[in-house]
Amino acid sequence: MALVGLREIRYSRPGIVASGFTIGAGPIRAMWPTPVTLGSSLCFVSGETIYDSGGNNLGTITGNDMVRWAVSRTQQVIVADGGAHLWNYPGIGGNVYARLPNNVMPPIQDVAFLAGRFVYVCQSSDRFYWSEVEDASNVKGLNFASAESSPDNVLGVAVLNDELVFFGQSSVEFWSPNTGAGPTDPAFTPIEGRGYQRGCASRDTIAYADNSLFWVGENRVVYRVGATPTRISSSSIEDKLRQCPNIAGCTAIVLTFEGHDFYILNIPGVGSYAYDISRIGTTAGAFGDSYERGEWCEWASYGQTNFRGQVAAVFQGVQYIGDSATNQIGAMQVGIYTDYGGAMTRQASAFIKVEEGSPRCDNIVLHGVMGVGNASGAGANPLVEMRYSDDGGRTFVRWRTARLGRMGGYRTRAYWQRLDQMRAPGRLIEIRCSDPVNVVFSHLELNSSRPAQ
């Protein structure tokens, strides 16, 4: 008998339920919560229209690119298609978004808010502008500076620990507010010795989570801000990034549930991969080792290459998620094992190493949580499927089923018998379940003396 790990216990991600927000033409291009001073609402962009959680039309924003946003106590600015759009608190100039008159700045790439000022990054340039204090639309002709560490264009900007972080094509640099600035002095100055000779591949992979910033570097490695850029991607994730023909099209979102923050990286045409920031692993997994860093796993939506969520926000304690193709806004809910009522497949893999000979595989027993069937309907007698490959995953045998047990059947054993001989270099085993039940995979037992008990 031997125990074969599934690379630590695997739990199901929460499913997605309808939230009641289905509006506009879709897809959902942005989503953000507003502070109490701005009415405490959830705003989102569906297609080219801006809405709040009450369904009110707040204006239009052209384009089909992802929308960037920044919020102060009294103003909100969103950026897309090269333009910045401003919303003032009602009574200070309107109740809809209006495009900023751009008599000073070139087309805008990104926006951030720090020290009372909005900061605008220009497209195809190393230049950025800043507004006057608490006045997003007031940008004077001399309110600009240029990123200095490398002669590259700035793709995006973010705020971390009261510092501006500029992500260039080949560098990252940090600027701080110039607290002693006079009327003619720059509002922000570079922090000497604080920066990286490491660039950014896609603006839309820049995300804030766990008091840090994450992004995909120009070398197709995923990084986290630290004293130096800390690599968090595994070799397998980097291989997935190399497969992407349009690296600038990669996006990322952050989701939070059950005390875990997840950085979800969407790689167009390849797949979506979730990085559990809160869980430092100790083993080698399907997407590379997780020593001293969080763990990666693949997220997918049924019938689609990528996970369908492309924007996300937490509002009033609920984790909302916006659809990448439709006008649906869902909520991730623990204890739900479907996406909008559709199938959600949970899958894990393990590898049995064979160095020589042709050992027999008489049986395999799946260990995990059993007796998870629903009281009635779908999943009342849930099935789990197994298949294996003896040629490194090039070809597999057909899926074979076993049972996870009806409700309360905790002594159920999921097992498969008469699995032929194995050969070097080893056997790859895949396990999956698509029934809407709580799936927890622990490990596999090989050649058990009593597989049915």
pLDDT digits (tens, 9 = 90+) for 128-170: 999 999 999 999 999 999 998 888 999 999 999 999 999 999 9
Looking at per-residue pLDDT, the higher value among 88 and 54 belongs to 54
| Beta carbons of 220 and 175 less than 8 angstroms apart | no
Which pLDDT score is estimated for 22? 85
Is a pLDDT exceeding 70 seen at residue 6? no
In DSSP notation, 160-181 reads ETTEEEEEESS-EEEEEE-TT-
**Bridge partners of residue 429, in order along the sequence:** 350, 388
| Beta carbons of 350 and 358 less than 8 angstroms apart | no
pLDDT digits (tens, 9 = 90+) for 197-252: 999 999 999 999 999 999 999 999 999 997 789 999 999 999 999 999 999 999 99
Beta pairing class for 284-285 and 42-46: unpaired
Which pLDDT score is estimated for 293? 62
- R_g over Cα of the chain: 25
Q: Where are the beta strands (DSSP E) in 360-424?
A: 363-368, 383-389, 400-403, 414-417
What percent of the chain shows pLDDT beyond 70? Answer: 93
pLDDT digits (tens, 9 = 90+) for 104-114: 889 999 999 99
Q: Taking all residues of the chain, what is their mean pLDDT, rounded to a whole number? A: 90
Which pLDDT score is estimated for 283? 47
Side chain identity at 260, as an amino acid letter?
H
Which pLDDT score is estimated for 291? 45
Side chain identity at 235, as an amino acid letter?
S
* Alpha carbons 252 and 224: distance in angstroms, whole number: 13
Structure tokens at 242: 């190399």
* Alpha carbons 63 and 195: distance in angstroms, whole number: 33
Which pLDDT score is estimated for 54? 87
* Alpha carbons 208 and 206: distance in angstroms, whole number: 7
Burial class (CB in 10 A: 0-12, 13-18, 19+), 245: exposed
Which pLDDT score is estimated for 95? 66
**In a 3-state reduction of DSSP, which class is residue 248?**
helix
Name the band, by pLDDT with cuts 50, 70 and 90, for residue 452.
confident
| Beta carbons of 99 and 83 less than 8 angstroms apart | yes
Which pLDDT score is estimated for 182? 76
Is a pLDDT exceeding 50 seen at residue 290? no
* Alpha carbons 256 and 237: distance in angstroms, whole number: 21
Is a pLDDT exceeding 70 seen at residue 1? no
* Alpha carbons 207 and 312: distance in angstroms, whole number: 11
Q: What's the pTM?
A: 0.91
pLDDT digits (tens, 9 = 90+) for 335-393: 999 999 999 999 999 999 999 899 999 999 999 999 999 999 999 999 999 999 999 99
Q: Which domains does the chain have, with CATH numbers?
A: 14-333 (2.130.10.10), 346-446 (2.60.120)
pLDDT digits (tens, 9 = 90+) for 71-97: 999 899 999 999 999 987 665 556 678
Tracing tokens 């006008």 back to the chain, one arrives at: 327
Which pLDDT score is estimated for 294? 74
